[in-house]
Amino acid sequence: MCQSDRLHSIAAQTLADNNPSAPRKRLAKGRVAAKMTCDMTPFDPRLPMEYVEAVEPAPLGEAEQRTLDRVNQKIAAAPGIEETIDFLFEQTRTICPCDRISVAFVTDDARRVTSYYTRADYEPVVLDRGYSEDLRGSSLERIINTGQPRIINDLAAYGREHPTSRSTHLLLKEGVRSSLTCPLSVDERNIGLLFRSSQTPNAYDPRNILMHQAISERLSQTIEKAWRIEQLEQANTAYMELLSFVTHELKSPVASMVMTAETLLDGAYGELQPDQARRIERMVFKGQYLLTLIRDYLNLARLETGKLECTPQMEVDFVERVVEPAIDMVEPWLEGKEMTLDRQFSGQGTIDCDPDLMIIAMTNLLGNAAKYGRKGGTIRLTVHRGRARLDVSVWNEGAGFKDEDRQKLFRKFSRLDDPAHRKAKGTGVGLYTVWRIVNQHGGRIEAHSRYGQWAEFAFWIPQPLQCYLQPPPE
């Protein structure tokens, strides 16, 4: 066995022996003998900094075994990164010196290392979350490249030898005098670093390395999963914020262009020739399509980032405050395709809902029916106010959808790969937005179709809503 693999094997075996759920594996005698005869660089505590290629194996004491058992059980429960690091700080400092423990991750295509979380028993913590340094040329680069632990037992002397090391001087300001660093490894990839620090010089020895390495080996996979999930959430939030910014900036100039074109069609600046009118009508149509895209993406971004929260009101006249404004918005599409809107309203009384969100939902459903409905066909809008719920459905003549495509309808950015729908442009977010809004109201939405003939989207929301309600506006 090579020198660089030796510590890895010892740490892994230590954890396996102390993890009740892990399969028991015993090394063959020949393999143990081979490991014991491995050449080894001796550990020298007099050096300010040392990379440790291997250490002599040693049996763990009862306190160390109990601590590792508790660590195994905690990590198996898959808590968050901060909770895990706090637990390690409290549980391991009695058997391995620790005034400060922190975790950092390799970022920017392995070019930088960025501090993620720190727990210390003193204040202030100067080198904290978000601190980032280039790996190239740093002492951490070798840890990432080779997987070898690093001990700095005299941080003050190390700082004098490396006067340009910003991180060292920040730690010295905190009073740190010793440091033990191990890589966090997953599938032979070193994805980060686990730091243990003490305010006492010469605090760490080879036995501490074994313990720290054993913990980091067990910790790595759980921490990486939590970190990756957090990265995805942050990327999604950043994407939605960018989407919101771009669509918001586009909305006003596009709306202004459409309004100017409509003013020209009305003859405000003189009578237009037939060819001129046709060209401006095309401009208006394309501008309205762009406004539809902008509206859909802006609504989605607001929902996803929590800026369009459900704020229900009491005593809302659903037809007057929601249905009629939505119909007004899609009227030009209905006229353009010569479609008939059949309104069927029944039941009496007001409802509880967020009228602004419901306008978005109704506009999407009616616009969807106009977009995919048959030219010259009928759209039937049904609204029924029952005793315990509000039922709404939008039915249209048209191509509909196949049964196997039903599951795709309410997914974000999902569009049906059907020849009957390819000519109709869309964003793939309208039905998803409706689904989100109906769910925010505690309701449910369903879709039905007879392929080639008709499609129907129907939802219901409970009444009264079992959530915080705002009083009706005066």
* Predicted confidence band of residue 119 (pLDDT cuts 50, 70, 90): very high
Q: Is the pLDDT of residue 13 over 50?
A: no
Nearest partner of 418 among 376, 372, 367, 374, judged by Cα: 372
Confidence bin at 8 (pLDDT 50/70/90): very low
Q: How high is the mean pLDDT of the chain?
A: 80
Higher per-residue confidence, 406 vs 237: 406
**Is 87 exposed, middle or buried, given 0-12, 13-18 or 19+ CB atoms closer than 10 A?**
middle
> What does the block give as tokens for 347?
């039941």
pLDDT at 471: 53
Rounded to an integer, what distance in angstroms lies between the CA atom of residue 219 and that of residue 145?
A: 19
Which of 35-49, 236-250, 257-271 has the largest mean confidence? 257-271
CA distance 189 to 331: 58
pTM beyond 0.75, yes or no: no
What is the distance between the alpha carbons of residues 205 and 6, in angstroms, rounded to a whole number? 17
Q: Within the chain, what is the greatest distance between any pair of CA atoms?
A: 100
Q: Which residue has the higher pLDDT, 260 or 169?
A: 169
Mean pLDDT of the region 207-227: 79
- For position 59, what pLDDT does the model report? 66
Amino acid identity, residue 308? Answer: L
| Per-residue pLDDT reduced to its tens digit, 300-345 | 777 777 767 788 899 999 999 999 999 988 888 898 889 999 999 9
Cβ neighbours, 10 Å, residue 270: 6
* Alpha-helical regions (H) of 373-457: 430-440
Burial 331-360 (b: 16+ CB within 10 A, else e): eebbeeeebebeeeeeeeebbbbbbebbbb
The phi-psi region of residue 64 (left if phi > 0; otherwise alpha if psi is between -120 and 50; otherwise beta) is alpha
| SS3 state at 460 | strand
Q: Which residue has the higher pLDDT, 292 or 384?
A: 384
Sheet holding 444-450, edge to edge: 340-347, 378-385, 389-397, 454-462, 444-450
The token pair at 362 is: 């109704």
Q: Which helix (H) or strand (E) holds 50?
A: strand 49-51
pLDDT band at 32 (very low <50, low <70, confident <90, very high): very low
- Residue 438's pLDDT band, with cuts at 50, 70 and 90, is very high
Cross-strand pairs, 152:
49, 179
Burial environment of residue 45 by CB neighbours within 10 A (0 to 12, 13 to 18, 19 or more): middle
Helix (H) / strand (E) element for 12: namely helix 3-18
Residue 75 above 80 pLDDT?
no
Worst-scoring range by mean pLDDT, 1-10, 63-72, 295-304, 409-418? 1-10
350 has pLDDT over 80:
yes
